[in-house]
Amino acid sequence: MDVPTTAPLPTHADARSVEACAPLKLVLVIPTLCEAGNIGGLLRHIRSVLDPQGIPYEIVVVDDDSPDGTGDAVSAIAREDARVRLIVRKGERGLSGAVLDGWRNTSADVLGVMDADLQHPPELLPQLYNAVAAGRDLAIGSRYTPGGDLGGWNPMRRLLSTAAVWATWPLQRRRLRAKDPMSGFFMVRRRCVEGIEFQRTGFKLLLEILVRARLGSVEEVPFVFGSRFRGASKANMRVAIDYGRLLARLYRGKYGFRRSTVLGVGLGR
């Protein structure tokens, strides 16, 4: 699929003028792998939440060639609603890469992502969008900010998650530190990430955005992490290894050691 050409980024003054006249367009990317049991209901739920808000949006489902009919379920909805699109990747896996591929195939002003497993509540989408529309560069659905919660996680999983967050603390910029840098539920202004090369492997794109994107402000919106409705979690040892590699690369970059090879492609032309 061809990547649309985007116009040069506006100046801050031009951007404020445009935003005052017209609402920002949102793209919501949903990476999928064997989510046939969830995706249809999720897409209907998202549209029922966003439609009354008057938000211009599109939903891009990036499927890693699922054998369970996930793509067919999305295609059926896309035939009824042109705002829903499907991208099928063959021979490639990885949530971060799927998100980047979805973002590259849109010219939307606000780039969003959420999981397909129903653990991220669509009801939070207007709050995240409104935070960006009001001037924030990045809005995060946060399990760690007051009012948020990890839901039904067992004590060991909570401990590992907390340790993973602590490991990011020295990497994050002091005045922009997020309490939930591991979240997979967020929206960011396109101009903040345009042209930056991000690691395609792994699940923790938000952390790299917090460290490397051109951000001036971050807002966290609390939510309670839900239970998976159908299907199996994608968390495994490979995810942990990819996270460790990302941390190592970000620490090398921040503290002046030799940079590792960048695995990724930038957004933009």
Task: Indicate whether 231 pLDDT > 70.
Answer: no
The answer as to whether 2 is a domain residue is: no
Closest to 203 in 3D by CA, of 176, 237, 173, 169: 237
% of the chain residues with pLDDT over 70: 82
User: Sorting pLDDT into bands at 50, 70 and 90, what band is 241?
Assistant: confident
pLDDT score recorded for residue 189 = 98
What's the number of domains the chain is made of? 1
Q: Is the pLDDT of residue 1 over 50?
A: no
Q: What is the pLDDT of residue 267?
A: 58
In a domain, 152, yes or no: yes
Distance set, CA 92 to CA 58, 64, 98, 208 (Å): 24, 7, 9, 20
Helix 95-104 to helix 205-212 angle (10° resolution) is 60
Q: How many CB atoms lie within 10 A of CB 39?
A: 27
Average pLDDT over residues 187-213: 93
CATH number at residue 23: 3.90.550.10
Q: 267 lies in a domain?
A: no
Q: Is residue 6 assigned to a domain?
A: no
Say if 172 falls within a structural domain.
yes
- Whether residue 48 lies inside any domain: the answer is yes
Residue 52 lies in domain: 12-254
Higher local confidence (pLDDT), 225 or 45: 45
β pairing state of 110-113 and 186-189: antiparallel
pTM: 0.82
The answer to whether residue 147 sits within a structural domain is yes
pLDDT digits (tens, 9 = 90+) for 117-143: 999 999 999 999 999 999 999 999 999
* 159: in domain: yes
262: pLDDT strictly greater than 60? no
Residue 229 three-state SS: coil
User: What pLDDT does residue 5 have?
Assistant: 35
